[in-house]
Amino acid sequence: MELGLHIAIISNIIFEPYFVPLTKRLFGENTVILPIPFGEHTEDKYQTQLRSADLIVVWLNIEALLPGQFYSLEKQDLDETIALCKKLYADLTSISHVKILWFLFEDYAIPLSAAVGHVYHDFADKLNLTLRDTLGDQLLFIDLKHLIAEVGISNAYDAKSKYRWNAPYSKILIEAAVKEIHKQYLIEKGITKKCLVLDCDNVLWGGILSEDRIENIKLGGNGWGRIYQDFQRFVLSLYYHGVILAICSKNDLPDVLRMFHEHSEMIMREEYIACFQVNWEDKPSNIQKIAEKLNIGLDSMVFVDDSPVEIGAVKAMLPEVTTILFKQDMVYEQFSCFNLKSNVSIADIDKRNETYRTNEFRKELKAKHTDYADYIAALDIKMDIHEAAPIEFSRISELTQRANKCTNGRRYTVAGIKERITSATVKLYSVSVSDRFSDLGLVGAIEVEGDALTLFSLSCRALGREVEEKMIEFISDKYQIQKIEFESTGKNESVKTLLSESFPNATIVKQRNPLTSHSRQTIKQTKI
């Protein structure tokens, strides 16, 4: 994906020659890297670079940060390092409103004996924990220790380049770090996959269901069947993090449903699947139908199949769809394209799937009404809009993070919401919807700050039912909107048009930093 970004990186070590070409490979050749030496970010020329940056990366090496105290770390050193990091964060957020990707400190920098190693490990852990708890909402943390564990400690460092050029990290580690930066940026922008489309035979179970019958299917046990059961467990973990699951299989639907219902070793259940497209038609057509039924874009879908032929057909006919060839010894790293959130409500996931499944009933009802107004009336839609309660913040955060179509582009974490609502001028509302077929739950959110509409977000599963119009009526009845904050997601231009037409006297302005304030600590900076 050609993004053409300006990325500022603040560090006390050197990443060349690896960081720039690896970053351009992932973000695009038009990407501009702005290296800023640690401690010099407040200089005018670097402030200019920070203001032009689309993304800021902070990667500090603790050995370089505390060269004199490294083998005799004390609480005073910890306090001073925390203060130094807080000062850096305060400076950056006063200069720029873009997201900051901050690498947490590792504890493998140099070989350490058992006698002193634990001191450094404890120091790094306490430092990271404090930074997580005290730094603000403009940050996304990257766990460097995890990346080092993935590539292996022996592969993560380059002693020769460390002592020759102050470049301690290997190409392998820097590549893993750049991939993580790219992933986190896409997640932040909502440019991630939402739906996993699965073949059945030799993917969810071993064997061909139409030929081998249920009793001969390989699944679970002590043999090869465990591979497929473990994959089901992995898929279920994606489901519990908010990924939509769909089935696209050349089979007879009654046989597949019987497998889901009756096989004792099945981990997956029918209720986890938002859409079944099981027939003998070609898979590109079926995947297209799944996208239409779920009202999602093809570019948000990932298709898994064990057949190179089927994978090739989908690549040729639906190039927007990401494809993964299933192998018995496959590495699940390929699934890192999904936007996995830790604050997803299981109840909301189950409710979402129920909505997708009942959409077929809604389509049948729509087919019976030639007039759209009659169809809406027959749905018996009920809406509830009220000031958001703390228990709803997690769902609202998830909604803003995942919505790309019907949204003004504002994204919040739970911490960001909590900080926002402390202001008397900010009002946050949740929007819940139900109809004759199901309770959709909390599907929308509105935020108004003074005379500015700062958040307008609605789940795609509630579109087409005049919910967005009712949300605008609610806003119009309570507020005189003069400004509308908006940031493009690449898919929300229709919302921009809707809001500008609904509030003709309002000015469309670029979204501001969602934070209200940041602490400004002044400390004496250690010279590096």
Q: Which of 427, 463, 418 is nearest to 445 (CA)?
A: 427
Q: For residue 403, what are the CA distances in angstroms to 70, 123, 217, 459, 472?
A: 46, 39, 39, 6, 18
- Distance between CA 115 and CA 126 in Å, rounded? 19
- Contact (Cβ atoms closer than 8 angstroms) between residue 344 and residue 240: yes
Kindly state the DSSP code that residue 421 receives in the 8-state scheme.
T
Q: Report the C-alpha dihedral over residues 462, 465, 471, 476, rounded to 10 degrees.
A: 160
Give the start-to-end residue ranges of the domains of the chain: 6-188, 195-337, 370-510
Check residue 97 and give its pLDDT: 83
Q: Which of 253, 320, 319, 301 is nearest to 281 (CA)?
A: 253
- Distance between CA 306 and CA 114 in Å, rounded? 48
Q: Give the HSE-up count for residue 153: Cα atoms under 13 Å, Cβ half-sphere.
A: 8
Q: Domain spanning 6-188 has what CATH number?
A: 3.40.50.1110
Kindly state the DSSP code that residue 192 receives in the 8-state scheme.
S
CB count in 10 Å sphere of residue 382: 12
Each residue's pLDDT tens digit in the chain (528 positions)?
Answer: 455 689 999 999 887 678 989 998 888 888 999 999 998 988 999 999 999 898 999 999 887 887 765 556 777 888 888 999 999 999 998 888 888 999 998 876 555 544 555 667 778 888 888 888 888 777 888 989 889 888 888 898 888 888 888 888 999 999 999 988 988 887 777 677 889 999 999 999 999 888 778 888 999 887 888 999 999 999 999 988 888 899 999 999 899 999 999 898 999 998 889 889 999 999 999 999 999 888 888 988 999 999 998 999 999 999 999 999 999 888 787 887 776 655 556 666 766 666 676 666 555 555 565 555 665 566 667 888 999 999 899 889 888 887 878 898 888 888 889 888 888 899 999 998 877 766 678 889 999 999 999 999 998 767 766 788 889 989 999 999 999 999 888 788 888 998 999 999 999 888 764 443 333 232 233 222
Check residue 524 and give its pLDDT: 30
Common-topology check for domains 195-337 and 370-510 = no
Q: In sequence order, what are the beta bridge partners of 369?
A: none
Q: Domain spanning 195-337 has what CATH number?
A: 3.40.50.1000
- Distance between CA 314 and CA 236 in Å, rounded? 24
List all residues 6 or more positions away from 26 whose beta carbon is below 8 Å from its beta carbon: 178, 179, 182
Q: For residue 194, what are the CA distances in angstroms to 140, 275, 312, 403?
A: 21, 14, 21, 11
Check residue 526 and give its pLDDT: 28
Torsion sign across C-alpha atoms 419, 421, 425, 428: positive
Q: For residue 465, what are the CA distances in angstroms to 172, 372, 378, 396, 434?
A: 50, 10, 11, 20, 11
Check residue 518 and give its pLDDT: 32
Q: Domain spanning 370-510 has what CATH number?
A: 3.40.630.30
Q: What is the DSSP string of 368-383?
A: T-SSHHHHHHHHT-EE
List all residues 6 or more positions away from 129 whose beta carbon is below 8 Å from its beta carbon: none
